[in-house]
Amino acid sequence: MKITDIKVILVNSFMYVKVFTDEGIEGIGESGAWGFLPASAEAVESFKTYLIGQDPLQIEHHWQYMYRCFHFRGAAVMGAISAIDIALWDIAGKYFEVPVYQLLGGKCRDKIRTYYHVSGSTTEELVQNVVKAKEAGYNAVGHLSPFLDEPRSLRYHDSYSRMIHDAVERVRLMREAVGDDMDFCLELHRRMKPGEAIAFAKQVEKYTPFFLEDPTTPDNFDSMALITSKSNVPIATGERIHTVHEFEMLLSRNAMSYVRTSVCLCGGISGTKKIAAIAEAHNAMIVPHNPLSPVSTAACLQIAASTENFAIQELPDHTGIAASERYTSTNIMDQHSFSQKDLVTWIPTVEKGYALLPEGPGIGVSLQPDIETKFPFKRRTINTRLHEDGSIVDQ
C-alpha cells in the first residue's frame, strides 16, 4: 500500500488532513495549531513531498522523519505532524479492520469519563451552567474559569484582593450548588503570576478542585514547578507545549500532576502515547486537551481507551461552534450559527458523564462531503485582551 495524495481541508475554524492510498483507504486527522492554521496547512504541503509514495503503515518512521527533518519546530509544524499522524493511524485501523485502540494494545476501559465545558460571563450564569451540567448527567465540569468568561474586547482591571476573593467565592457557590459528586477542573487561563497562583490555590483548596489548570504562562518550567511545590491542589498543564522533551522537563521538575496533552499539536496519537509513557513513569495522569472538532475527539478517545494512566477527557459541545472561538470572542456571538456535528459522520454519545467509544475501524469518524463549500474557512483575527492601562493581559 502506498500514499498517493494528501489533501488539506480548511473548514470554518478547523483544519483537516486527508491521506489517500492506492488501495482506496483514506485517513483523516486534525491540526491543533488553531491560531495559525494556514501556516500549518503549508507545513503539510512540505511534508507531502516526502510522504507521497511511502507505505502509510510505517507510522513511527514517518513520525521521526517529519519531526527531525528540518530541526526547526513550532506549533504550526507540530500541528501538521499531528494531523498527518492521526490520519496514518486511521488508515492503519481501516487496513487491519480494527479500531485504533486495538493497535495501541487494546482497551484499558470500556467507556471514557469526560468533563463538560462550562462557561459563564457572570457568577450567576456560571453557577447555573454547572447545575445544568449535573442535570445532564455529567459528574465533572471543566474549562471552568472562576475569573469568568469575559470578551477580550473588555479591558481588565481588578485589585489583587478582589481578583482572588471573587474567584474563590464563585468556586464556593458552585460547590454549594452541586455538592461533592461533581469534580471541578478549574481553568485559570495562565493569568496569574506564581505568587498569585500559590495564594489562590491555598484559599480554594477547601472546595476540593480536581485540578488547577495552567495557573501561569507555560514559558518557564521552574515557575510551574514552584507553584506545584506550594499548592495542595493538583496542577494540570501542557496544552501549549508540543514536544516529548518539554513534557519530560516539566515532569522531572514535579511541575504537574495532570498532563494536558494536545493530541492535535504534540505529535498526534504517536506523540501522545510517548508522553503518556513518560507521565506513567512519574506517576502522573494524562488529561487530553481537546477544544477542537469531533475528529480530535475521536482521536482522543482512542488514546483514552488504550492508556492506563488516563484520568479524564475534555469534551467540548460538538453541537455548537469551536470552543477555541467561543472562548476568545471579541463580542457577543451567535452560538447557534454553526454546528460541528454537520461536518462529520459521528459525534460522541455520552451516558452519565461517560463517552462511548466510536464504533468501526480507524478512529471512527469521517468528514461529510462538500464541507469546504458549505462552511468556508475563517482566518482567526488577532485578539488579545488589554489591561485598563493598555498593557497585555495573559488570558
- Max Cα–Cα distance, the chain, nearest Å: 63
Distance between CA atoms of residues 216 and 306, nearest Å:
31
What pLDDT, on a 0 to 100 scale, did the predictor assign at position 327? Answer: 61
What pLDDT, on a 0 to 100 scale, did the predictor assign at position 148? Answer: 93
Going by C-alpha positions, the residue among 123, 240, 193 that lies closest to residue 394 is 193
What pLDDT, on a 0 to 100 scale, did the predictor assign at position 381? Answer: 84
Distance between CA atoms of residues 72 and 33, nearest Å:
16
CATH 3.20.20.120 corresponds to the domain 103-361: yes
pLDDT tens over the chain, length 395 residues: 999 999 999 999 999 999 999 999 999 999 999 889 999 999 999 999 999 999 999 999 999 999 999 888 899 999 999 999 999 999 999 999 999 999 999 999 999 999 999 999 999 999 999 999 999 999 999 999 999 988 888 899 899 999 999 999 999 999 999 999 999 999 999 999 999 999 999 999 999 999 999 999 999 999 999 999 999 999 999 999 999 999 999 999 999 999 999 999 999 999 999 999 999 999 999 999 999 999 999 999 999 999 999 999 999 999 877 766 666 554 544 445 678 999 999 999 999 999 999 999 999 999 999 999 999 998 888 889 999 999 999 88
**In which order are the strands placed within the sheet that holds 3-11?**
3-11, 14-21, 26-30
Cβ atoms of 82 and 29 closer than 8 Å: yes
DSSP at 105: T
Q: Where are the domains of the chain?
A: 3-101, 103-361
Which phi and psi angles does 10 have, rounded to 5°?
-100, 120
- For the record, the C-alpha cell of 394 comes out as 495573559
Equal fold, 3-101 vs 103-361: no
Distance between CA atoms of residues 202 and 59, nearest Å:
45
Cβ atoms of 36 and 75 closer than 8 Å: yes
| pLDDT tens for each residue of 101-123 | 999 999 999 999 999 999 999 99
Which phi and psi angles does 170 have, rounded to 5°?
-65, -40
What pLDDT, on a 0 to 100 scale, did the predictor assign at position 383? Answer: 86
Going along the chain, which residue ranges are E strands? 3-11, 14-21, 26-30, 111-117, 140-144, 183-187, 211-213, 235-237, 258-259, 285-286, 313-315, 350-351, 354-356
| pLDDT tens for each residue of 330-361 | 454 444 567 899 999 999 999 999 999 999 99
Distance between CA atoms of residues 143 and 119, nearest Å:
7
What pLDDT, on a 0 to 100 scale, did the predictor assign at position 333? Answer: 46
Catalytic positions, please? Answer: 189, 289
The 3-class secondary structure across 369-384, one letter per residue, is CCHHHHCCCCCCCCCC
Cβ atoms of 167 and 184 closer than 8 Å: no
What number of other Cβ atoms are within 10 A of residue 364's Cβ?
A: 24
What pLDDT, on a 0 to 100 scale, did the predictor assign at position 382? Answer: 87
CATH 3.40.47.10 corresponds to the domain 3-101: no
